[in-house]
Amino acid sequence: MNIRLSGLCLALTALCPGGSACLWDRDTLAVESKGRMDFVAVLVGRFERNPPLYYQMRIDRESKELRRNPARLDDYDDIAVAESRLGKNDLALDWMKRKRAELNALKSKDKEAWYRLFANEGTFYTLRWMKNGCNPNDLTDNSLAIDDLDKAIKINPDAHFGREWVQREFLMWAQDPANRFGENLYWNNPDRSPLQNALGLAGLIRLGEAWESPEITAALGAMLAKLNEPKGARIAGLAYYRTEELLNSGKVSLGPDLISKTYSDFFLTPGKRLGYSPSMEMDSFDRAQYKRLRRDADAWERNRTAFMMERMKAGRHPDTDPHFWDGYVDSPALTVKAPMFWEIPGFWANFASTVEYFAVMGFVIGCGYFYLAVWRRPLKDSE
């Protein structure tokens, strides 16, 4: 396998490691019901990621429930997604086959049930293709994934904030990286706004575990920079810092044309940064704030995981225990601080100019006073 394709395979693995792009289970609606995704939280990593025990307990419980009642269609999705999150995508696909057989046996016309089957199955095929090394001579699973995602999109084009569409474009790019992922996103469907694409990309990170993909993060920054919102460019700056962090930690990038020549110029050229062109003062402030938000997000995840593990080891689970989260404190809080007046870009330059102005004015006034009060008065006295 050539180096470029190896890099692509690793980037796709970062896109969906063990759970991946467009998965549907009982947790999905809970996250999406919060409304429009918080891009800041997505970019700093402050979103729910559950420990393996969470998924194993769900598998054990719902497998028993399905044996008693095979018509519980949602349980097939829950178990399949849980298996995938544990890295067992062959088992996940097997559960989708069982769900398909049950739907056919019921002669079901439940669009939501069929949509979830296609969305999940398409993702599991994607993961299996990646696990087998992204073989360019065997695109069977890649093509099966695209076919399933096309069916899911046809049933529900706006689900997941458009994540299926974004994932499909990523898979098409995987077949031919020369197509440039970002250009596909922006030009292949002119009816989709930068905000829709940004929401889809944020969904891949928050619900699809593309948390460690430089490509997806940079693409999200590019979309945020194109928004007509006053603060879009500032949030794009956070995407720059996150992409920089990923690349510096050794995460795979496919090169400077990973999004498009225009977008990569914004990302790679100092001072442009995905449309974010801060002053030195503001860049320093935002970078320091990003590092603080990342530290807080990591601490928040550790606290949340520790809270969950203590209760799950005692046999409790959020699916079945309505009091599971009693006593949980969402800490540390997510706080985005505005700069103090002395951190505002240009403050110190303006302050220095102001001081200089008053110093000059003070000198002029002092000279005038000296002339009138000291030098001019003796002349009058001598007269």
Query: Is the domain of 192 the same as that of 271?
Result: yes
Query: Is the domain of 187 the same as that of 261?
Result: yes
**pLDDT value at position 200?**
82
Q: What SS3 class is residue 319? A: coil
**pLDDT value at position 10?**
47
How many angstroms separate the CA atoms of 264 and 360, rounded? 47
**pLDDT value at position 265?**
47
Q: How far is CA 9 from CA 3, 4, 165, 184, 206, in A?
A: 10, 9, 20, 19, 21
For 354, the domain range is 346-383
Q: How far is CA 205 from CA 15, 201, 308, in A?
A: 8, 7, 22
Give yes or no for a contact between 236 and 42, defined as CB atoms under 8 angstroms apart: no
Among 216, 215, 196, which Cα is nearest to 206's?
216
**pLDDT value at position 264?**
45
Query: Is the domain of 244 the same as that of 275?
Result: yes
How many angstroms separate the CA atoms of 126 and 22, rounded? 10
Give yes or no for a contact between 95 and 102, defined as CB atoms under 8 angstroms apart: no
* Domains of the chain: total: 2
Q: What SS3 class is residue 10? A: helix
Cα atoms in the Cβ-side hemisphere of radius 13 Å centred on 292: 12
Query: Is the domain of 284 the same as that of 368?
Result: no
CB neighbour list of residue 245: distance below 8 Å, 6 or more residues apart: 294
**pLDDT value at position 221?**
82
**pLDDT value at position 346?**
56
Query: Is the domain of 298 the same as that of 351?
Result: no
Query: Is the domain of 383 the same as that of 313?
Result: no
Among 200, 204, 142, which Cα is nearest to 173's?
142
pLDDT per position as a tens digit, 68-95: 999 999 999 999 999 999 989 999 999 9
Region of 356 (left: φ > 0; alpha: ψ -120 to 50; beta: rest) is: alpha
Query: Is the domain of 168 the same as that of 148?
Result: yes
Query: Is the domain of 30 the same as that of 126?
Result: yes
Give the global pTM: 0.75
Query: Is the domain of 284 the same as that of 308?
Result: yes
**pLDDT value at position 296?**
95
Query: Is the domain of 80 the same as that of 215?
Result: yes
Among 186, 96, 200, which Cα is nearest to 157's?
200
**pLDDT value at position 166?**
82
**pLDDT value at position 367?**
74
Low pLDDT (below 70) residues in the chain:
1-37, 133-134, 160-161, 176-190, 208-209, 228-233, 252-282, 338-358, 360, 368-383
Query: Is the domain of 284 the same as that of 372?
Result: no
Query: Is the domain of 133 the same as that of 211?
Result: yes
